[in-house]
Amino acid sequence: MAWPQWLFPFSGFGLAEDGASLIAPMATDPTGHKSSRGQEQEIGVYQPMTDTAKPAYRVLARKYRPDTFSELIGQDALVRTLGNALSLGRLAHAFVLTGVRGIGKTSTARLLAKGLNCIGADGNGDATLEPCGQCEPCKSIAAGRHVDVLEIDAASHTGVDDAREIIEGVGYRPVSARYKIYIIDEVHMMSKSAFNALLKTLEEPPDAVKFIFATTEIRKVPVTILSRCQRYDLRRVPAAMLAGHLGMICQRESIAADEDALAAIARAAEGSVRDALSLLDQAAAMTADKLTNDTVADMLGRPGRRESQTVLTAALAGDAPSALAAFNIAYSRGAEPEMLVTDLLDLIHLASMQAAGGSNDALIESEREMIAGLAESGIARLGRAWQLLLKGHGELGQAPNPAAACEMLIIRLAHTAHMPTPGELMQKLPKTSPSAPPSPSSAPVASAPATSAPVASSAPVASAPATSAPVASSVETAPIDTGAGMPSSLAEIVALAETNGEMLLAALIRNHVKLVSLKPGNLQIGLVGAAPGQLAGDIARYLSQWTGQRWLVSLSESGGAQTLAEEQRDADEKLRDTIASEPLVAQILDIFPGASIDEIKIPETPDAALTLVDDNGLLEAGQNNDDDEEMSG
């Protein structure tokens, strides 16, 4: 048939009757003259696409999306749990998959949908974790066109109306599949009202309906939703496993790649498979399928592993010029200072783990010898380098010139390399013995409280328990022989209260009571501080109850000794001053200006040294090499 000319308003255009070609005769101007081309020209030819047309390129992240659970790397716990649930017939009606980006949440949801609806190549199969990929449900789900598997992007379907559509669809049975499956990606983007609308349906859905949620922000999902789902946390893929996966893909794609280059990409991906494949795709395009460590480092804007090792090794050896030269080479090749410091921190961490006896399975073969060499520096030096690098990493963002800040950090790292560690410093100090003690009978004994904080000293110190520590008041005479159970000092009254479980009363006596006089059945005290008004009556009542004898407790406006708490503080200060006067401790305090003795700990080992403190110094009763003092600046 001939097409009417009004369909082609432009002069000289016509369509052949077969509809295959569009022909334009030679162009004419309004006066009827021919154009300068002087001949008819074919301006366009329609050619239907044939099978020989070159297919569009698919990025590696899409091309190598797993088709079966066996191809899902790094998620063994998830696969094992789902496999057992299928085999035991305990499959949940709702799942929530969470984890960082690019580790397989959506892929797992699609694989689960295929496995639940797979009927096998012969059409008689049951639900499985190994879908055949050949039956119609498997093919249509993989192509995203199955009518019973609905994949919804919650980022663009956030409202309650979208939730209502899901609720209405749940009421209908599957058209052709075994289960109707709703895959909701980025479910945390749904509104609060949409979540609330789904609660009842999610709690009691029809038997043929399954929900699979995927999210990177699990904390934004209401707990009412999480309590109705089985939660699966997908783990980051270890760098060594990810590097091996990239190597397998390079073999399939005929990409020549060094092991160090793949390891650098795996580290940069931070456990994300999709990120790793995207970086591999970019690196292959940049290097024409020939990946080397240097080219990958240039692409990532970070130094190569060897350059980072050179900087760190030279800095830990105190060779600042070599370390700075290695940094300048890396910086001139495009490495960012922040990325260099991050790489140095990673090396320090791996070396410290090996030095501490940790596992090094995450290391690739080419890095094992390097990390072993760094580990020989020792945990103390590696820990000091870690602190310097961590502090310097925070300074890079504040510095006007990050490169200069990184150079200053390297200089500090090299400067501290030759400084002794605290352990080496203690070993270099001269070993001295405590001052000569006078006769133990020359003074009353004081003590220090036992604390849980560690303290250090080569001069061992010990004391009696805290409850019996305070010395008797100066107004007290010798203990009164009053028979069994009759207290003869304020400290014994406190001990009696503690023995009978009256801890509050014991604390009030220790902090607010001054002893004026004590006789059997008669106690005269003074009160200090915010003491309760009924304290004297409580003491009399409890003493009468505990001793079986009536007690009279009276208050005095003047006189009296210190409280037990005040006496304890004085004893602590005396002990601290005595320890500080020891030659070894005094030398340590001189080496570290501003240092002080904060706490004192009593050795707990049976063979620990026992020393008593009197007015003139330390009375040594044994020897011990444990550290019993703690210095703080």
CATH of the domain at 369: 1.20.272.10
In this structure, are residues 192 and 56 in contact, taking their beta carbons and an 8 Å threshold? no
pLDDT tier for residue 1 given thresholds of 50, 70 and 90: very low
Mean pLDDT score of the chain: 77
In this structure, are residues 127 and 86 in contact, taking their beta carbons and an 8 Å threshold? yes
Per-position DSSP letters for 549-570, written without gaps between them: S--EEEE-SS-----HHHHHHH
Residue pLDDT, tens place only, 36-69: 444 444 444 445 555 555 678 888 888 888 888 8
Q: Are residues 78 and 191 in the same domain?
A: yes
Q: In terms of DSSP H, where are the helices of 171-319?
A: 192-203, 223-226, 239-252, 259-269, 273-287, 293-300, 305-316
At residue 256, what are phi and psi to the nearest 5 degrees? -80, 120
Q: Are residues 358 and 334 in the same domain?
A: yes
Domain count along the chain: 6
Q: For residue 429, is it within any domain?
A: no
Q: Is 26 or 329 the better-scoring residue by pLDDT?
A: 329
Q: Are residues 124 and 172 in the same domain?
A: yes
| Strand, coil or helix: 251 | helix
- Report the Cα 564 to chain-centroid distance in Å: 47
Q: Are residues 135 and 207 in the same domain?
A: yes
Q: For residue 504, is it within any domain?
A: yes
Q: Are residues 145 and 84 in the same domain?
A: yes
How do the residues of the chain divide into helix, strand and coil, expressed in percent and rounded to 5?
45, 10, 40
Residues in CB range of 440: below 8 A, 6 or more apart: 612, 614, 619
Q: Is 456 or 416 the better-scoring residue by pLDDT?
A: 416
Q: What percent of the chain has pLDDT over 90?
A: 15
Q: Count how many Cα atoms sit within 13 Å of the Cα of residue 546 in the half-sphere of its side chain.
A: 22
Q: Are residues 296 and 310 in the same domain?
A: no
**Structure tokens that stand for 386 in this block:** 């870690």
- Span 496-524, average pLDDT: 86
What is the model's pLDDT at position 52? 55
Q: Which of 318, 346, 316, 342 is nearest to 330 (CA)?
A: 342
Give the span between the Cα atoms of 107 and 214, in whole angstroms. 10
CATH of the domain at 66: 3.40.50.300
What is the model's pLDDT at position 408? 93
In the numeric block, the tokens 């009254």 are attached to 493
**239-243, 298-302, 390-394, 627-631: the lowest-pLDDT one:** 627-631
Q: For residue 477, is it within any domain?
A: no
CATH of the domain at 517: 3.30.300
| Strand, coil or helix: 515 | strand
In this structure, are residues 396 and 406 in contact, taking their beta carbons and an 8 Å threshold? yes
Report the amino acid identity of residue 67: D
> Which residue range forms the structural domain that includes residue 330?
305-418
What is the model's pLDDT at position 53? 59
pLDDT tier for residue 536 given thresholds of 50, 70 and 90: confident
- Report the Cα 348 to chain-centroid distance in Å: 17
What is the model's pLDDT at position 51? 52
> What is the pTM assigned to this prediction?
0.56
Question: In the structure, how many helices (H) and strands (E) does the chain have?
Answer: 23, 17
Pick the most confident of 163-177, 355-369, 582-596: 163-177
Residue pLDDT, tens place only, 229-288: 999 999 888 888 898 899 999 999 888 988 888 888 988 888 899 999 999 999 888 888
Task: Give the helix/strand (H/E) hosting 412.
Answer: helix 402-415
Q: Are residues 177 and 208 in the same domain?
A: yes
C-beta neighbour count of 74 within 10 angstroms: 18
Residue where a domain terminates, one of 233, 252, 279: 233
Task: Give the helix/strand (H/E) hosting 405.
Answer: helix 402-415
Q: Is 583 or 429 the better-scoring residue by pLDDT?
A: 583
Q: For residue 566, is it within any domain?
A: no
Q: For residue 50, is it within any domain?
A: no
What is the model's pLDDT at position 611? 43
Residue 134 has pLDDT above 90, yes or no: no
Residues in CB range of 273: below 8 A, 6 or more apart: 73, 74, 102, 103, 104, 237, 242, 245
pLDDT tier for residue 554 given thresholds of 50, 70 and 90: confident
Residue pLDDT, tens place only, 71-117: 888 888 888 888 888 888 788 899 999 988 888 899 899 989 988 88
Q: Are residues 384 and 507 in the same domain?
A: no
**1-10, 162-171, 261-270, 414-423: the lowest-pLDDT one:** 1-10
In the numeric block, the tokens 């496993």 are attached to 241
In the numeric block, the tokens 């019996």 are attached to 468
**Structure tokens that stand for 92 in this block:** 């949940």
Q: For residue 472, is it within any domain?
A: no
Q: For residue 475, is it within any domain?
A: no
Q: Are residues 147 and 245 in the same domain?
A: no
Residue where a domain terminates, one of 178, 213, 233: 233
**Left if phi > 0, otherwise alpha if psi is -120 to 50, otherwise beta: which for 225?**
alpha
| Strand, coil or helix: 612 | strand
Task: Give the helix/strand (H/E) hosting 162.
Answer: helix 160-170
At residue 181, what are phi and psi to the nearest 5 degrees? -120, 130
Residue 182 has pLDDT above 90, yes or no: yes
Q: Are residues 296 and 309 in the same domain?
A: no
Q: Are residues 374 and 340 in the same domain?
A: yes
Residue where a domain terminates, one of 233, 268, 286: 233
**Structure tokens that stand for 313 in this block:** 């090794």
Q: For residue 548, is it within any domain?
A: yes
- Span 341-354, average pLDDT: 88
**Structure tokens that stand for 433 in this block:** 């013995």
Q: Which contacts of 350-354 are long-range, i.e. CB under 8 A and separated by 24 or more positions?
A: 350/374, 351/375, 351/377, 351/382, 352/379, 352/382, 352/383, 352/386
Q: Are residues 21 and 64 in the same domain?
A: no
